[in-house]
Amino acid sequence: MRLGVLGLGAISPYFLRAIEADPELELTGVCDLDPRKLAPFAERGTACFTDFTELLDAGKADAVVVTLPNDVHTPAVLAALARGVPVCCEKPLTVAAAEAEVMEATARTTGTTLFTAFHRRYNTNLRALTGHLPRDRRDIVRVTARYHENIAEHTGGEQWYLDPERCGGGCLIDNGPNALDAVRHLVGPLTLRDATLGDVRGGAEFYATLSLDADGIPVDVELDWALETGEVKDVVVELRDGRTLAADLLAGYDGFKSSLDHEYVGILAEFRQAVAAGPDWRDPGPGLVRLVEEAYRVGRAKEPRLRMAAKEPVSARVVKLLFHTRDDRGMRLSPWASRCVAAGEVHELVTTVDRPRDPGDEVNRVGFLGFAEFSAATVLQRGDEVYAGDRRLGTVSGFDECHAPNHYNILIATDRVLGAADIDLRVGDHIRFAEAPQ
């Protein structure tokens, strides 16, 4: 098979070496926008192009490998499929499910092979783990996959990875497909249950957790782009009898990315089979594009910060103590979930065992701690943790504004109503408000 390689960046050497290692394959054309990357190939007499349509039209390739930036996959793959040239495309196949559907339709109508390169399914350690799985899948309690790395060590200096417009997102779209494919290869098709994105920098998430289900088996996938250095890529299977089986995908491959060599040989061997199978080959790539898109939909609808606090804790110094409790106070929950507080403002601290939820809900069973002066500006919000010294009092459940604009009653959900004497509070003590752990 005469192969063309579109894109000569960081990952291309693994394909080029795999082509060289396979006597059934011959590199006949390469394409890159950067002429410096083409020069060594021109010296060897390989046909060189800066425009992938010209490579495709030159008739020098029976099939192509696409190792272009994510946002260029769709035009390149469609150009190849439209010409009846089989494509092996790096993951993620595309950055949008709608584009993957157009690819599938074009592959179908032209009878041309579309193949996504998921390299981890050929990893020797993952394959060994597959062989050790119990026959009865009910014996599997949970599967966990981790894909942790420092993205700067993988980009080959190119900036498009950190541009969500070009990459399609962050670690979820970058490492999600390979991690998910590895797990899917182990335990079968996955359904998304939940997704959380965190540590968002410039619109790209550096951390993501996915919770999935493989026909009754819970699956957790954790993706991290911000490891200080090195890589953690493993899959752990917990069994009903208490044992765990694990595959460290990098074990035995000590050099940086050295496991990739055998995995990319595996990709091209299967690609040849897929081309031979013709229209019978069903590419698993579009399914994972859909799964990743669904995970973004779920994750982006939620609070994104996972690892960084969104605000600093703030202290309020007690300036007047209160001691009384009431069970008929008739406060009303304000509609606001958060309130800005300026440095130097004084507000009243009220404990309550009532659990108001909706604006206007009554708050009757209350204890009064006193008034406190905030040392710094902050945004107080429902759910904030409240501490007196080391003692956790409870969480902010909202605000009552019956004394506004003089001051707010900050309602603190506690296990029992507390006045100042109940916690031995003194004038000058500090009450601390901290963001709840996420």
Ligand X SMILES: NC(=O)c1ccc[n+]([C@@H]2O[C@H](COP(=O)([O-])OP(=O)(O)OC[C@H]3O[C@@H](n4cnc5c(N)ncnc54)[C@H](O)[C@@H]3O)[C@@H](O)[C@H]2O)c1
User: Does 97 contact ligand X by CB under 6 A?
Assistant: no
| C-beta of residue 369 within 8 angstroms of C-beta of residue 324 | no
Q: How far, in whole angstroms, is CA 257 from its chain's centroid?
A: 21
From 53-61, 69-77, 237-245, 265-273, give the range in contact with ligand X by CB under 6 A.
Answer: 69-77
CA distances, 333 to each of 77, 344, 347, 412 (Å): 57, 24, 16, 12
Nearer to ligand X, 72 or 346 (CB): 72
Nearer to ligand X by Cβ, of 88 and 388: the residue is 88
Shortest Å, Cβ 362 to ligand X: 56
Residue 404, Ramachandran bin (φ over 0: left; ψ between -120 and 50: alpha; else beta): beta
Q: Does 68 bind ligand X (CB under 6 A)?
A: yes
Residue 193 · residue 213 · CB < 8 Å? yes
Residue 330: Cβ within 10 Å count: 11
Among 3, 4, 5, 8, binds ligand X (CB under 6 A): 8
Residue of minimal CB distance from ligand X?
9
Identify residues 173-212 at the interface with ligand X (CB under 6 A): 174
Query: Residues 5, 65, 70, 85: which binds ligand X (CB under 6 A)?
Result: 70
Q: Which of 35, 156, 188, 279 binds ligand X (CB under 6 A)?
A: 156
- Check residue 31 for interaction with ligand X (CB under 6 A): yes
Distant-in-sequence contacts of 53-61, Cβ < 8 A, 24+ apart: 53/79, 55/4, 55/6, 55/29, 55/30, 55/31, 56/4, 56/80, 56/83, 56/85, 57/83, 58/29, 60/2, 60/4, 60/28, 60/29, 61/2, 61/3, 61/4, 61/28, 61/29, 61/85
262 near ligand X, judged by CB under 6 A: no
Name the strand (E) or helix (H) holding 30: strand 26-31
User: Is the Cβ of residue 159 or residue 375 nearer to ligand X in the bound state?
Assistant: 159
| 69 contacts 166 by C-beta, under 8 angstroms | yes
User: Cβ closer to ligand X: 37 or 332?
Assistant: 37
Q: Which residues 6+ apart lie within 8 Å of 330 measured at CB? A: 362, 363, 364
Does position 96 interact with ligand X (CB under 6 A)? The reply is no
| Contact call for residue 15 and ligand X (CB under 6 A) | no
Of 140 and 204, nearer to ligand X (C-beta) is 204
**# chain residues binding ligand X, by CB under 6 A:** 23
Under rule CB under 6 A, residue 11 binds ligand X: yes
Work out whether 171 is an interface residue with ligand X (CB under 6 A).
no
The only residue of 9, 168, 299, 367 in contact with ligand X, by rule CB under 6 A: 9
Element holding 343 (H helix, E strand): none
Q: Is 95 in the site for ligand X (CB under 6 A)?
A: no
Interface with ligand X (CB under 6 A): 7-12, 31-34, 37, 52, 67-70, 72, 90-91, 154, 156, 158, 174
